[in-house]
Amino acid sequence: MNTLVLIGLALLFFALIMASIALHEIGHLVPAKLFGVKVTQYFVGFGRTIWSRKRGETEYGFKMFPLGGYVRLVGMYPPEKQTDKPKGWLTRMADQARSYEYEEISPSDDGRLFHQKPVWQKVIIMLGGPAMNVLLAFLIFLGINFFHGTWQSTLEVTVVNDCVIPAGRVPATCQDGDPQTPAKQAGMQVGDKVVAFNGHAISNWNELTDLIRANRDGAAAITVERGGQVIELPTVNTIIQPVSDKLDPSSRVEAGFLGVSPGRELVRGGVIETAGQMWNTTQMSVVALASFPSRVWNVGVGLVTGAERDINSPISVVGASRVAGEIAVSDSLPVEDRAVTWLSLLGSVNLFVALLNLVPLLPLDGGHVAGALYEALRRGIARLRGRGDPGPVDTAKMLPVAYVVGGFLLIGGVVLILADIISPIKLF
């Protein structure tokens, strides 16, 4: 029975991701039509068409492989500039792509082509997709915060580690000769509430963690509240230990270590709290994006060598759906927490899709935005110099970049899907 539930909820998660992709494309479609751009196709998926229907000038439908989607905006490339100079390979490639697109452009389309639109309209059209995913993520996280709440660390100490255990020891237990943790040396006790660190008043656990990490092996004067009394503990020195990076849990950094763990409480919030959480998630996602190529490479190497999959490695839509299914049927979490974790994963996927599409490289949305902004800059400089309008930027000349980026996303996607099937991440 659990297997059927897992499969069903994994498929539901996959369907919701595809719905998010469909809404992403709606984010492009609606402003494009409002601004009068000719839109000939709106499809979810790639490959062979399995169903479509035409409404006005636009064909709507689904493709065989539901792993993305697209909106076809006519006139993405400006017309070829006539010149007597010999054409290089880049110009010839651009002209070939341009000629294919212009086969469906007629004189009646003049004024409705994408490249003819003002820069601000181009930017809105291309940002519409990522903005839709950000909105979906925000609504999901807001709903979680408002109706259920999120687990947050408190300033009350629930664990005081007895000793400093060397990294990699299995089992992770104290042995003779292991030094006491700084927290143990200072006499911290379970139930203490930390109120100050080196004279800095503490308002939340994240603030305390940042101060401890930055302290490295310096002196630590800790003030706690115990039994209704404020107590100044003996000054000790924190020690330098390898700990997980706050923005990249897959990497280790050297930082100050005290040796305590906090309590947790369920806290409800609203718009401000949700925005703060999304900002933290965005920072982590940007760090993950920066190292995405190397992470995909490591997954591929692990797939070939049979190495154990890192729990923090990137996953595909297939992997995310599988993880969602496993979370939904796990007995290690209460039902409400399972539902919240499931929805949080959906929100995180939407936020990651938005950030990925904002990378300023073609064929991603951010590449088109970058081209539009460069066009505005070039026209502004021309006006300042008293020169004529240089015209729209010829993004067709960036096709080699688009091919490289698109090729990497395709190959990387295949690698991650295979890894998620053959060597999936194990949460439980």
Active site members: 25
Say if residues 345 and 12 touch (Cβ distance below 8 Å): no
**Closest by alpha carbon to 73, among 22, 125, 18?**
125
- Alpha carbon of 319 to those of 250, 303, 357: distances in Å? 18, 14, 20
**Contacts of 272 by beta carbon, 8 Å cutoff, 6+ apart:** none
Q: Distance (Å, rounded) from C-alpha 277 to C-alpha 279? A: 5
Q: Distance (Å, rounded) from C-alpha 252 to C-alpha 421? A: 28
**Closest by alpha carbon to 260, among 229, 233, 230, 227?**
233
Annotate 248-267 with b (16+ C-beta within 10 A) or e (fewer): eebeeeebbbbbbebbeeee
Q: What is the DSSP letter of 190?
A: T
Q: Distance (Å, rounded) from C-alpha 350 to C-alpha 419? A: 21
Alpha helices in 153-270 (DSSP H): 182-186, 205-215
Locus of tokens 């897992």: 6
Strands 222-226 and 200-201: unpaired
Tokens for 151?
Answer: 């687990």
Tokens for 32?
Answer: 């494009």
**Closest by alpha carbon to 409, among 129, 65, 44, 68?**
68
CA 100 to chain centre: 34
Question: Rg of the chain's alpha carbons, rounded to an integer?
Answer: 27
Q: Which residues pair with 242 in a beta bridge?
A: 254
Dihedral sign computed on CA atoms, order 182, 183, 184, 188: positive
Tokens for 317?
Answer: 């839509």
Say if residues 341 and 333 touch (Cβ distance below 8 Å): yes
